[in-house]
Amino acid sequence: MIQISDGEDNYNITDDVIRVIETECMSCIEWITNAIREKYERLVDKIVILETDKNPGKISLEEKVELIKDKPLKTAREQKVEEDEIA
């Protein structure tokens, strides 16, 4: 079993899930890490588009991260609260 925790929530990946995932990849942890990294990179691109005048396809990940590192970012929870207040 693999346990993932963010300090507030916990998620357990059961041995059955691991067994099935590992029919297509060498390591469940490697698959999870790759999924998180891919999501991170897509979100960085989205933030660069929304918050700067730069084209994320033309600059490195390091440059993108530097561009947004001091930008205030709202969590999904914060965005949801704002949306609910507007509606």
Average pLDDT, the chain: 93
Both ends of the chain: CA-CA distance in Å? 41
Is the pLDDT score of 59 beyond 90?
Answer: yes
Please report, for the chain, the start and end positions of each structural domain, with discontinuous segments joined by +. 2-86
7 band by pLDDT with thresholds 50, 70 and 90:
confident
For the entire predicted model, the pTM comes to 0.78
Q: DSSP secondary structure string, 28-87?
A: HHHHHHHHHHHHHHHHHHHHHHHHSS--GGGS-HHHHHHHHTTS----HHHHHHHHHHH-
pLDDT for 6: 87
Q: What confidence tens digit (pLDDT) does each residue in 17-29 have?
A: 999 999 999 999 9
